[in-house]
Structure 1
Amino acid sequence: MIDKLEMFLAVAKEKHFGRAATSLGITQPTLSAGIKQLEDQLGVLLIFRGSRFGGLTPEGQTALIWARRIVGDSRQLREEMRATRHGLTGRLRIAVIPTALTWAARLSTEFGRIHPNVAFTILSRTSIEILQMIDDLEIDAGISYLDNEPLGKVSTVPLYEERYMMVCEASSPFAGRDSVDWSDLAGQRLCLLTSDMQNRRIINRNLSNAGASPQIMMESNSTVVLIAQVMEGGWITILSEDVAHFLTAAKPLSLVPIRTEGTGHAVGLVAPWREPHTPVLEALLGLSRRMVNDR
């Protein structure tokens, strides 16, 4: 039944039989037959369908919860048995908010040093996408904000508090200042991450609280594009401290801390709520805690 549940999860995710079949590497007739067999086994209709996918039935919505749990348990069983035979192996899939990609590289590098037979796939995604991907079993863990928007039932390890830096040309009037206030950005030409990013929503709130109305001249979901825009267009961007230092190294740009009241927003490792975790994921959570304690 596990393979049929995998098919069901793929259809629920893609909301399209053709795309679901492609994602699984099977033909659409094979997928349709598998879903029909699963429905026959369970004795209920799971998916409304005529000539195309019509959504999950109420029974299908309930079955989706169980399917995620059963498939997740099945994958964990395979991971634990493989770890028993061969030690930690396999591939860890991690989705990361753009401002935390440097931390993801740091974490994966240290993990790979300790467990050289584990490979990584690291994806840049929004905080909302990360939680959905965890629910859909598309990733093993994420790095995202912990305290700004609801996370649901997940395991977390706080990694750092996000602080913000103004990035401007070395010739900017702001260059060389010890710090600036959010209110200093009023009327400035800014390039920022897109509004679907939680980082952007935090920045918008800080600007609003300071009564600042800058000119948002360009948006991108790439921090690299923002830095290039500052260099080419003479605009200003706002990035988290860690990624700002990384992206501006050896470039003719100036970093100026932005004063913010209170503590920064917590960013950390987010993993599915499961006890016990797979051996590889448990090792990742443990390493994250040690790295934070060693800082």
Structure 2
Amino acid sequence: MANEVQMQHLDYLLALAAERHFGRAAARCHISQPTLSVAIRRLERELGIVIVQRGQRFEGFTEEGRRVVSWAQRIVAERDEMLADLERMQGRLTATARIGAIPTAVPASPFITAEFLARNPAASVRIEALSSREIARRLADFELDAGLTYLDDEATPGTRSVELYRERYVLLAPADHPVMGSGEVSWADAAQLQLCMLTTTMRNRRILDANMAAEGARYRPAVEADSVDALYAHLTGSRRATIASTAWLPQLGVPPGFAARPMVQHGPRPPIGLVVHDRAPASIVAAALEAVAADLELGARIDTLWNETSG
């Protein structure tokens, strides 16, 4: 077996693992498809194994290939961490912080990214809206530096976390709707409205459904979507409503003609936190994000802004 494996070839392999298509992987690496194919075949020769199952198109990885992908993820992550650590020693960090956020946490993410960029002005941030399960998978595969997700019974093993805030739910509905005359809205009353809700693949929706069930309420959403922006878009100029988190309001506000009223609370408020892979040595980027999260006191800030809005 050859003892020389080029890092560039591992980068190409990880692009293929992410895209599962030679053409898209080549475009991701800014090279031609033949160049990518040659690099993968050379990697196979160097390791003395078959990595890719080939037919008319990409058909997946062999058992040995899946093991190589797993090692490549670790090796490339360690290389990136070494470079980031050297930058940190020179007093700067130019890496891109890769953050996966559940849709309900995306509106709160600017609180974190603004402080991270203020502390690391040469760095950049990439935010992706993902389900809690996808965040867990991509953290494990070293495809994310951190996740903004729920810290509950679906929390990811092998991670550590910093709690940021706890979700408080409010009904966003037309201000002149009779239900908005209450100081607090029951879930059974909210179920009677034309609700816009996240899809059932989202953890937030499962939490809201549990609150509905606690009051024996049955409902069928008028609109289901996979992003908070889409929910807001369907409120504009309509008589529809949605059940929002107060963490959305600092960035998205209350639509014109609408009002926000607190929902009856059933049980503890669900915690949202920053989650990172628990490994040694620790990721430099993840550690920088953790430091920001620990200093923010975001829960108190969101609660204060809500109290000012509702008052």
Task: Give your verdict on TM over 0.5.
Answer: yes
1:292 is aligned to 297
C-alpha distance in structure 2 between counterparts of 1:148 and 1:185, whole Å: 26
Q: Deviation above 4 Å: which 4+ runs of structure 1?
A: none
> 2:215 corresponds to which letter in structure 1?
A
Shift of 1:168: 0.5
SS of aligned partner of 1:262: coil
C-alpha distance in structure 1 between counterparts of 2:101 and 2:19, whole Å: 21
Structure 1 position 45 matched with structure 2 position 75: no
Shift of 1:117: 2.0
1:131-170 map, 5 Å: 131-170=136-175
TM-score when normalising by structure 2: 0.87
The 1:12–1:275 alpha-carbon spacing in structure 2 relative to 1, beyond 3 Å, is same
Shift of 1:245: 5.4
1:204 corresponds to which of 205, 209, 217: 209
2:75 is aligned to 70
1:259 is aligned to 264
Contact 2:183 2:262 in 1 (8 A): yes
1:69-108 map, 5 Å: 69-108=74-113
TM-score when normalising by structure 1: 0.91
The RMSD of aligned alpha carbons is: 2.1
| Deviations 1:115-140 (CA, angstroms, capped at 9, x unpaired) | 22222222322223323333444332
1:190 corresponds to which of 184, 195, 205: 195
Unaligned ranges ≥5, structure 2: 1-5, 301-311
SS of aligned partner of 1:174: helix
1:242 is aligned to 247
C-alpha distance in structure 2 between counterparts of 1:278 and 1:132, whole Å: 17
Structure 1 position 225 matched with structure 2 position 230: yes
| Deviations 1:208-263 (CA, angstroms, capped at 9, x unpaired) | 33221123111122323323433422112111121145423473211111122221
Contact 1:146 1:267 in 2 (8 A): yes
The 1:177–1:148 alpha-carbon spacing in structure 2 relative to 1, beyond 3 Å, is farther
Structure 1 position 173 matched with structure 2 position 178: yes
SS of aligned partner of 2:171: strand
More strand by share: 1
Unaligned ranges ≥5, structure 1: none
Contact 1:93 1:122 in 2 (8 A): yes
Identity among equivalent pairs (%):
35
| Deviations 1:45-66 (CA, angstroms, capped at 9, x unpaired) | 1221122111111112222221
Structure 1 position 56 matched with structure 2 position 61: yes
2:219 corresponds to which of 209, 214, 223: 214
1:20 is aligned to 25
C-alpha distance in structure 2 between counterparts of 1:157 and 1:87, whole Å: 24
SS of aligned partner of 1:142: strand
Shift of 1:80: 1.0
